[in-house]
Amino acid sequence: MSTLQERFKLAIALPAGLIFSCLALPAMGEEVTSGDALARELSNPNTSLGSLNFNLDYTNYKGDVPGADNQEAYRLSFQPVFPYPLAEGVNLFARPNIPVLYKQPVPHIGDSDIAPPGGDVGIESGLFRNSDVELGDIGFDVAVGKTFPSKTVLVGGVVGTLDTATDDAVGLGQTLLGPEALIAQIFDWGVLGVLVTHQWDVAGDDDFDTSITAGQYFYTINLGGGWQIQGSPTFSYNHEAADGDEKWTLPIGTGITRVTRIGKTPWRFAVQYWHYVKQSDALGPDFQIRFTFGPVVPLPW
């Protein structure tokens, strides 16, 4: 079996194994999973609850390149969250984000493929191929969060991207690393905050440089009964984008979230719509629909 096949099978087996092992742990108590308390705690960026999160994204593209309009892609990403308490109101997070890609549009020039997230796409033919089911580059962060008596939340740590893609055309071919910082305020009505990261290439393909500032602005409005209005669009600024090309990828978005029980296990379900107001001129996302689901699980410690 090839190394790429082994990595892909591991990416599929790991989430399944974590789900079964965590759901086998004793069920959470009623007092932890009741009504709004659970929904509010899950929207806290310094939450002490464990969860297994799946994001299913549909993205529609547009661009100046012939054939770019209405290209589409699917992505399923898995992110387990197991906060480790260090002190009262202080948690340590180590969160991988494992993406599986399907039908990622890959611009094609002659005998070479160029992944769409890159800066200077340089396509002349406007031909595309769709990727098969592939493991993408795995992201991760390691951070410490603290909640203050004012209900202000600060998080700081390290973020990175690993060169794990099973198809070179859907990965950067580089390992990235950099800092991350988050600030949020928890109110009676919900949460408001922003996460900012920056990553540079530290290993891998040295034919080009990568320097990307990215992040996420997020908000939650509590509606009661486990329902919330919620938005968490992700943005980026590509410092190495080609001259004359748009450096920003910036969406506006909103959605709805529901926390409920299936059996004795609480689950979170959400859907969001993001409309991009800034994207790469050559090829970039036009709009994105994200479905999120996952169980809340007891911590193993």
Token representation of residue 7 = 């990595």
> What Rg, from alpha-carbon coordinates, does the chain have?
20
Token representation of residue 269 = 């379900």
CA distances from 55 to 234, 260, 290 (A): 13, 18, 6
* Closest C-alpha to 247, from 161, 120, 69: 120
Residues 6+ positions from 291 with CB-CB distance below 8 Å? 55, 56, 57, 270, 271
* Burial of 6 from C-beta contacts in 10 A (0-12 / 13-18 / 19+): exposed
pLDDT score recorded for residue 239: 96
Token representation of residue 98 = 């494992």
Rounded to whole angstroms, the Cα distance separating 246 from 241 reads: 7
Token representation of residue 83 = 């906060």
* Closest C-alpha to 233, from 255, 258, 248: 255
Rounded to whole angstroms, the Cα distance separating 164 from 75 reads: 15
Residues 6+ positions from 228 with CB-CB distance below 8 Å? 39, 43, 190, 220, 221, 222, 256, 257, 258, 259
Strands 190-204 and 127-130: unpaired
* Paired residues of 88 in beta bridges: none
pLDDT score recorded for residue 108: 63
pLDDT score recorded for residue 79: 97
Residue 12: in which H helix or E strand, if any?
helix 3-23
DSSP, collapsed to helix, strand or coil, labels residue 210 as coil
Domains for the chain: give ranges and CATH numbers: 3-297 (2.40.160.40)
pLDDT score recorded for residue 114: 47
* Burial of 13 from C-beta contacts in 10 A (0-12 / 13-18 / 19+): exposed
pLDDT in single tens digits along all 301 residues of the chain: 455 555 555 545 555 555 444 444 444 444 445 668 999 999 999 999 999 999 999 999 999 888 888 899 999 999 999 999 999 999 999 999 999 999 888 876 544 444 444 444 434 445 788 888 999 999 999 999 999 999 999 999 999 999 999 998 899 999 999 999 999 999 999 999 999 999 999 999 999 999 999 999 999 999 999 999 999 999 999 999 888 889 999 999 999 999 999 988 999 999 999 999 999 998 899 999 999 999 999 998 8
* Closest C-alpha to 221, from 198, 176, 254, 199: 254
Q: What is the pTM of this model?
A: 0.84
